[in-house]
Amino acid sequence: MADFDIKKNDSAPALRCILQDDSANPIDLTNASTVQFHMKSDTDTGGTGTPLKVDAPASVIDAVNGIVEYAWLSDGSDTDTPGVWFGEFEVSWSAGGRTTFPNYTYISISIIEDLDED
């Protein structure tokens, strides 16, 4: 079972997550300069050279409570391929450095075939 399900070509709902440390405490993003969302096929997480399906900015919804959101593209081009995908949020900090969440696994995203192909 995936962490997030969406139908092929849909652009809603957005993917909203709480970024947490290893003890499940929210990460304070007040000092984050950018948050980027990455998504790649679950069959290619070993760095075999397949490009990312998504490499796009995410929005910080609530910095103190670590809530971020990726809004799918309105044309459905980032949800146009059914299958299981792995996602992650990469935070770049104002003071330098970056941290990827979750840092011990991936967010499992299932893009499900739509019954009508319109």
Domain spans, the chain: 4-112
Assess whether pLDDT exceeds 70 at residue 80: yes
Could you please report the per-residue DSSP string of 10-59?
---S-EEEE-B-TTSPBPP-TTEEEEEEEEEETT--S--SPPPSEEEE-E
Could you tell me the pTM of the whole model? 0.92
Assess whether pLDDT exceeds 70 at residue 118: no
Percent of the chain with pLDDT over 70: 93
Distances (CA, A) of 27 to 15, 32, 38, 65: 17, 10, 19, 7
Task: Name the class of domain 4-112.
Answer: mainly beta
**Of 1, 20, 2, 6, nearest in space to 71 by CA:** 6
Q: What would the pLDDT profile of 27-75 be if each residue is shown by its tens digit?
A: 999 999 999 999 998 876 666 667 899 999 999 999 999 999 999 999 9
Half-sphere CA count of 12, side-chain side, radius 13 A: 0
